Amino acid sequence: MSWIWLACAPVDPPSEADSTPHVDIPGHNECLPPGERYDDEVCVAVVEDQGRVATESRLKAPAQASADDPRLTDPEFLWMTGEVDRCVCRCCHTAGLGGAGVHAWDLSFEPVWVDSASDWSLRVFGGYTEEYEQTLPTDDLDRLRAWLDGEWARRDALEG
């Protein structure tokens, strides 16, 4: 029989210089005012708090976009991207921040991030499904849905 001896000793608390600054973790559907976005430090804290395994995104649109895709300069697409960027969903849906949500859609997917989203993911995004807690918490859902309608029409044209 072998014995293991454990010694317990008090640990000195970390010094002020060693302590990590506290980061307030926003709730799942929280958003900042238009034009702002959650910084990477907050997003990494959100991802770590959730404790989910990171995933990867893939092309889910019917065709790969080109680097000069007109959506990249479309004011409605830029508005919608800004809406996503100002909300906590940015944290779990941006590759490189470690979030598990990038399998559904990824803001880092190039050249056009929305091409990483399936039609079903876009329906969730626009609040057309039972997953209301996953709907983009925008102040202008009608505007978002109008853009989504155009995206689905574009996808149908690519497949047809």
**Residue 19 within any structural domain of the chain:** no
Domain extent at residue 75: 40-56+67-159
**Residue 105 within any structural domain of the chain:** yes
pLDDT at residue 119, rounded to an integer: 95
Residues in the chain with pLDDT values less than 50: 1-12, 14, 18-19
pLDDT at residue 9, rounded to an integer: 37
**Residue 27 within any structural domain of the chain:** no
**Residue 99 within any structural domain of the chain:** yes
pLDDT at residue 54, rounded to an integer: 83
**Residue 125 within any structural domain of the chain:** yes
pLDDT for 102-120, tens place per residue? Answer: 999 999 999 999 999 999 9
**Cα–Cα distance, 102 to 109 (Å, whole number):** 9
pLDDT at residue 25, rounded to an integer: 84
Number of domains composing the chain: 1
**Residue 85 within any structural domain of the chain:** yes
